Structure 1
């Protein structure tokens, strides 16, 4: 085996690099104590995702990027982890889980009607609340859509 093809040489190099990385695990470059991956710039997956997200926020775009599409830098990136703060506007716009008929709290047991409202167990049926959904027309359209008219060609009498 004096001569090796280029493909064999690259396979040998890959196997050697895998052998060296598996025998000597490196720690994350952000000193979080987790094993690092060379494909993620010697960072753990959590730190790498945080740095990519921070880079996306700084550039003004929130595009999700995979680890292979990101240009890997030779120097470790600084990761700034901020606590999540809830905006006062978002706090007021939380979904209200109350029955549209009696305003009773329904929590996870609420029923969504086809008219789009949320109801408790007592008002969930369309005859128990003023439902604006037209079930009769919807049923007719469904039957017409699922059962097209089939006509045989007229036969010519001889």
Structure 2
């Protein structure tokens, strides 16, 4: 179902996080559950996957994971502050110890000069650690490819935030 590199990354996360008793929550906008899907494709993922939030709309971001209306008004949904609030909100609204959040413009429309198609903000949070952020500019490579690239980066960030 998944490209081999994504399946391998998810499998490694499930094995490592199971051994370390780490639980994951996802907060996804432009990927709409693909990160959760990649992780839960792996047998044994129930040991590490706590829940996923699909927060495609601004209202969902506010209601489900506590992104502030002020952040959305000041910076927009596709921004560093929103991604960070999404990741931290996923931790606050779950029993997970680690989260990853993504918000972006997968295309083909919806981009602007300031926020072009292919722009994705990702954040990873862990209780007791500084939240990580990455701004990715994948380019106008096609909707599916932007989304798959985002899954790859999100899985990398889960590994990164899990290090001690």
Q: One fold, TM greater than 0.5?
A: no
TM-score, normalisation: structure 1: 0.20
Determine which structure has the larger strand proportion and give its number: 2
Q: Which has the larger radius of gyration?
A: 1
TM-score, length of structure 2 as denominator length: 0.19
Tell me: higher relative CO, structure 1 or 2? Use CA pairs within 8 A at least 6 residues apart: 2
